[in-house]
Structure 1
Amino acid sequence: MEAQEVAAAERRLSSRRIYEGHILNLRVDDVILEFGRTARREVVEHGAAVGILALTEKGGVLLVRQYRYAVDEETLEVCAGLVEKGEEPRDAAVREMQEELGFKPGKLTEIGRFYASPGFCTELLILYLAEGLTPSRLPQDDDENVSVVELPLKDIPGRLAEGTFRDSKTFAAMAWLMAREGLRPGV
Structure 2
Amino acid sequence: MKKLEEKTINTEKIYNGKVVKLQVDEVTLPNGKTSAREIIKHPGAVAIIPITKDNKIVFVEQYRKPLEKTLVEIPAGKLEAGEKPEVTAVRELEEETGYTTSNLTYVTSFYTSPGFADELMYIYMTDQLEALQENVTGDDDEFVELLELTLDEAKIYVKDQRIHDAKTNYAIMYLETLEMMK
- TM-score, structure 2 length as denominator? 0.93
Partner of 1:78: 74
Partner in structure 2 of residue 101 of structure 1: 97
Q: Which runs of 5+ in 1 are unaligned?
A: none
What is the aligned partner in structure 1 of residue 48 from structure 2? 52
SS in 2 for 1:129: strand
**How far apart are the structure 2 equivalents of 1:167 and 1:31?**
31
Partner of 2:166: 168
Corresponding pairs, count: 179
State the match for 1:116 in structure 2: 112
**What residue identity is the alignment partner of 1:154?**
D
Q: Which runs of 5+ in 2 are unaligned?
A: none
Task: Confirm or deny that 1:147 pairs with 2:145.
Answer: yes
The two structures have a TM-score, normalised by structure 1, of 0.90
User: Matched residue of 2:72: which SS?
Assistant: strand
RMSD: 1.6
Residues 105 and 125, structure 2, Cα contact 8 Å, conserved in 1: yes
For residue 156 of structure 1, report the CA deviation from its aligned partner: 2.8
Displacement after TM superposition at 1:130 (Å): 1.4
Give the aligned residue type for 1:158.
Answer: I
Aligned to 2:179: 181
Corresponding letter in the other structure for 1:157: K
More strand by share: 1
- Percent identical among aligned pairs is 35
Paired position in structure 2 for 1:88: 84
- Pick one of 23, 26, 35 that aligns with 1:27: 23
Note if 1:135 corresponds to 2:135. no
